[in-house]
């Protein structure tokens, strides 16, 4: 009888040790290097912007596309522009949008978004059209394009500055918006002068 009780107690003890050993093994596995590495990968995935809202991702790409075009066309205006105001405006586009593009590039990299590295088909066509013009015709066409482009850009940036899901995207839109508004104001102030000179030129030709 005594031996039977001892055997039973020994069995219980062994079973308890097995359970404790299994629990310890599971605990070790949960904190193993491989498991921790998987957790780190998951964290990196979230940080890279894999879950970035589709509209925010689209905005980043479109902003990159537009910023690239503003720089390229600005260089063209600084070189081909006839009026001093147009030349200065073109150079300002290069300076301001290059700065904004650098900020956007950092944001895009942190969110896992690839920015365009060359002009879109539409912007290539615009550049090709402007390259064929010179003098007053170039100035008028370029400034007209700048008014249209910035009017559209401001609408998009205003929307994203309030509705963006990502805080970084919202911050970029909000910080860049005043500069775009200032660009539009300056462009509009130059356009009437170009139109006035064009009318005077037409009357003189008659």
Residue with tokens 């013009």: 133
Backbone angles phi, psi at 133, to 5 degrees: -95, 165
CB atoms within 10 A of CB 88: 15
Look at residues 192, 183, 195 and name the one whose alpha carbon lies nearest to residue 91: 183
| pLDDT by position in tens, the chain (length 206) | 545 444 444 454 444 444 444 444 544 454 555 544 444 444 334 344 457 999 999 999 999 999 999 999 999 999 999 999 999 999 999 999 999 999 999 999 999 999 999 999 999 999 999 999 999 999 999 999 999 999 999 999 999 999 999 999 999 999 999 999 999 999 999 987 655 555 555 555 54
Any idea how long the chain is?
206
End-to-end CA distance of the chain: 131
Distance CA 1, CA 153 (A): 92
- Give the contacts of 186 (CB within 8 A, at least 6 positions apart): 89, 92
- Give the contacts of 91 (CB within 8 A, at least 6 positions apart): 74, 77, 78
Task: Summarize pLDDT for 82-135 with one digit per residue, the tens.
Answer: 999 999 999 999 999 999 999 999 999 999 999 999 999 999 999 999 999 999
């Amino acid at each position: 009888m005594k031996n039977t009780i001892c055997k039973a107690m020994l069995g219980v003890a062994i079973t308890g040790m097995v359970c404790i050993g299994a629990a310890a093994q599971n605990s070790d596995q949960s904190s193993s290097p491989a498991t921790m590495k998987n957790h780190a990968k998951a964290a990196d995935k979230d940080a890279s912007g894999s879950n970035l809202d589709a509209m925010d991702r689209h905005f980043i790409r479109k902003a990159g596309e537009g910023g690239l075009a503003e720089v390229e066309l600005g260089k063209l205006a600084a070189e081909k522009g006839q009026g001093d105001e147009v030349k200065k405006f073109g150079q300002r586009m290069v300076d301001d949008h290059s700065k904004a593009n650098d900020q956007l590039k950092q944001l895009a990299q942190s969110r896992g978004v690839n920015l365009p590295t060359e002009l879109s088909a539409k912007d290539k066509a615009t550049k090709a059209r402007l390259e064929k013009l010179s003098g007053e015709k170039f100035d008028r066409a370029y400034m007209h394009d700048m008014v249209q482009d910035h009017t559209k850009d401001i609408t998009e940036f205003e929307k994203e500055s309030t509705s963006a899901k990502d805080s970084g995207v919202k911050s970029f839109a909000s910080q860049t918006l005043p500069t775009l508004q200032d660009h539009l104001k300056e462009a509009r102030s130059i356009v009437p002068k170009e139109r006035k000179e064009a009318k005077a030129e037409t009357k003189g030709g008659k």
